[in-house]
Chain A
Amino acid sequence: MFKRSEFIARLTVGVILIGLPALILGYQFIVRPQLSGIRTIDISASSPENGGFQPNSFSVTAGETVMLRFTSIDVTHGVAIGPGLGVDLGQIDPGHIKEVTLTFDEAGTYTFYCNTWCSVNHWRMRGVIDVRDRVNPNVIPTALPDPVIAALVAEGVDIDASVHNRSSAMSSMPMDDAPVLVERPSAERGATIAAALTIPTEFQDDAWRQSHTPQQAIALLLTQNPNTPQTDLADAVAYLWTRSAASESLARAAPYYAQNCAACHGETGGGDGFMAAQTAETPVAFADPNYLFTMRGDVLYAKIRRGGMGTDMPNFGTLLTPDETWALVDYLWSLSVEPNNSNR
């Protein structure tokens, strides 16, 4: 016959060794999800060398409301979900938790990604949310081909080429004597100069502007304004190239650039980001007009969305919408010229 104290002691041991784990784990994994009423998905974030996001992919059903709970394990990460959701949870310090409740209306594929530089392989830190159709959950949603990239491919443009002056559409234009720009073209000066120039109608066409380089535009302007110094023409193109970029669009694109591009290409586009020395190819300097004025907007768009083959540049097409990508292209143009402050 046990004494009462021995019985209580044994009962306490049982409660500690069996009851405590059952209580804690049962509450967390059974009771708590049922009380919350929505599915909760816990995602841990660690730098890619340590496994990245875990899990790094999961499926939800269109129309289903889920709570995504992110926690950082090793260093400070940032979490955003795109494209087009506008979800940016901001930075998450180690051990902290941030959560977001989402309802995906339509089937598709979304990406959650780290947007705070966390390691040399930061750009690999992505995960996939597979939103299945409610009626046909076994059908894997496929992304439609990007029409801009498809058009470039159809045109025969080498997206990975370093310059794009000689695309087939402008092959007739004289480019061999393309000027070396000794100073950054000024959009502010260009606004005054452009007012006195004959501007070809092509400049009014956004599609034309997106599919031609500023150098080609300078060449075209020269045909209409043969006596104008080329530096003035460069200023005029700087103005004409950036005037349509609304300041709110640039403001929207600035954080995209800071979060996704600056580490390699530099905060001001100098190609001198802190990771520049570690990439397979030296990152290009957007701030150098002699480089950027040889680039087509649609090619920049394609490079951003598709990534740079063999350069270590990842694709951003799974993170950004086409509109966001174009805003980023406008932001790149703004890095290569002196801004038109009178327009701001």
Chain B
Amino acid sequence: MITLPRPAPPSARPAMPAALKTLLKARWFQPALQLITLFGFTLAILAGFFGTPAGSRNFGIVFVWIVWWALLIIVLVPFFGRVWCTVCPLPAPGEWLQRRGIIRRTPGKLHTLGKRFPKRFKNMWLQNFGFLGIASFSAIILTRPHISAGVLLAFVLAALGLSLVYEKRVFCRYVCPVGGFIGLYAMMAPLELRVRDCKTCLEHGAKDCVVGNDQGYGCPWMVYPGNLKRNTYCGLCFECIKTCPKDNITIRLRPFGSDLFVAQERRLDEAYKAFIMLGCALVYSTVLLGRWGWLKNWANMDTLPHWLLYAAGLWLFNLVLLPGLFWGAAWIGRKLAGEMKIRDLFVAFAYTLVPLGLAAWIAFSLGFVFVNGSYALSVLSDPFGWGWNLFGTADAAWTPFAPQLLSFLQVGVLSVGLMFAVNTAYRSARQFYADHRGAFTAMLPVAGLLTLITGVFMVLYLG
């Protein structure tokens, strides 16, 4: 494999604006945001367990699976990367217990059993299988408030349990199914946390960002900021900004998708995360937006055998069929362009699904947020469906938003995603084939496959 020379990082990236630095250094900043989301999260669980079973009138369904999801996938992840992880309430109780403090920097070690997380699980595979597991039940989880609340509560308990046994945010880094795909798609974001000068970190022996100091904790995500090249595993907790005595960490803007070309950090587990995310978007679009009512019934577990068939199909499609198609495309490209290590080529081309998958999820989410977003108004006034009317909007009628625009937006987003994906394929191929012709030939089959997949999405969205 040829590694193209990357532009040398500036010897000293500019520092953050003073106001932003002050905010991110404040110990109260992250907990304050987490307390706000913890409030909403608690309300969602309460509504799920005690509110109306009608999903469209239950805060736990509408605000989690419509408002939060749309905000996450349409705004937060594409533009701000892992910023949701900054405010996520799921790991907060466990982390506060580990630290025996919410805001203050408590001295001494974290209060856990201090076990080491098994090395074989230090990757995305748990998150991949966890996401597929949840996806298998998604038609049920997304519509049944009490089941949805149970899943959310299970996430908190899992995070809490892991934080008692293992140090730091093992749940977020290796287990959380949401964190997995946020990390993958955060590679697209035009925002990154990086060190200003790598040399400063190399020369600094204390590594306060890793071990912590009296200003903050060592990185809870078990990342060494000095070597950070991608957004994937940085949870934007900003502890490193607090602890760095050299003021060497900054947040800055960059071009969309910059992380996709960090060749040395590509991994098979991440590639599969990309397959699973795109595959699930395709399956969801087919099941929820397609014209096949029987398939929706299967996903809704009308009978156990039907659901088992659906789940088996979902897993096979994501783990075998879609990767198999990509493997085939990579293999044909290699045959046409010249011998190259097929596994590396396959993994590299899988990252083309990051922009396309994100675009597919945005298009899919636009569909239901435009159609069902108006439920948020009534749920805001009557979160439990108990006949309350807190803000006078309980009787707000269901009103789809701009349905005439929806298809144009979806097609536009998918087209942008496809162009980005094809461009990624070419640029990735150039990392293997030095000449333009070889790279172009190698990526052609993959580009065709990407176009085909985009076409399927468009057919589904345009009916």
Contact = CB atoms under 8 A, between A and B. Distances in A.
B368 interface: no
B102 A9 contact: yes
Contact of A24 (B101, B384, B385, B387): B384
B35 interface: yes
A189 B216 CA distance: 98
B400 to A, nearest CB: 15
A17 to B, nearest CB: 6
Interface residues of A, number: 27
A71 interface: yes
A69 interface: yes
Nearest to B394: A97
Contacts of A21: 42, 46
A225 B52 CA distance: 68
B104 interface: yes
B28 A9 contact: yes
A53 B28 CA distance: 49
Contacts of B50: 24-25, 28
B42 A20 contact: yes
Contacts of A2: 104
A12 B35 CA distance: 8
B104 to A, nearest CB: 5
A229 to B, nearest CB: 54
A44 B54 CA distance: 9
Contacts of A96: 57
A16 B39 CA distance: 6
A72 B55 CA distance: 11
A252 interface: no
Contacts of B57: 71, 94-96
B35 A97 contact: no
A99 B42 CA distance: 29
A248 interface: no
A10 B102 contact: yes
B386 interface: yes
Nearest to A5: B103
A344 interface: no
B54 A73 contact: yes
A6 B104 contact: yes
B96 interface: yes
A44 B58 CA distance: 14
B43 interface: yes
Interface string B72-105: 0000000000000000000000001000011110
Interface string A8-42: 01101100110011001100100000000000000
A17 B27 CA distance: 22
A178 to B, nearest CB: 48
A95 B385 contact: yes
Residue of A9, A17, A21 most packed against chain B (CB within 10 A)? A9
B54 A3 contact: no
A152 B52 CA distance: 47
A44 B387 CA distance: 13
B54 A5 contact: no
A20 to B, nearest CB: 6
A9 B35 CA distance: 8
Nearest to B96: A13
Interface in B40-54: 42-43, 46, 50, 52-54
Please name the 10 residue pairs, one residue from A and one from B, whose CB atoms are nearest each other, closest first.
Answer: A95-B57, A95-B54, A9-B102, A6-B104, A73-B53, A94-B54, A73-B54, A95-B56, A6-B103, A97-B387
Interface of B: 27-28, 31, 35, 38-39, 42-43, 46, 50, 52-58, 96, 101-104, 378, 384-387
17 contacts: A3-B103, A5-B104, A6-B103, A9-B31, A13-B96, A13-B102, A20-B39, A20-B42, A25-B46, A28-B386, A69-B387, A71-B52, A74-B54, A94-B54, A95-B56, A97-B385, A97-B387
Given A13-B96, A95-B54, A95-B378, 8 more contacts: A13-B102, A16-B35, A20-B42, A20-B43, A24-B384, A28-B386, A46-B53, A74-B54
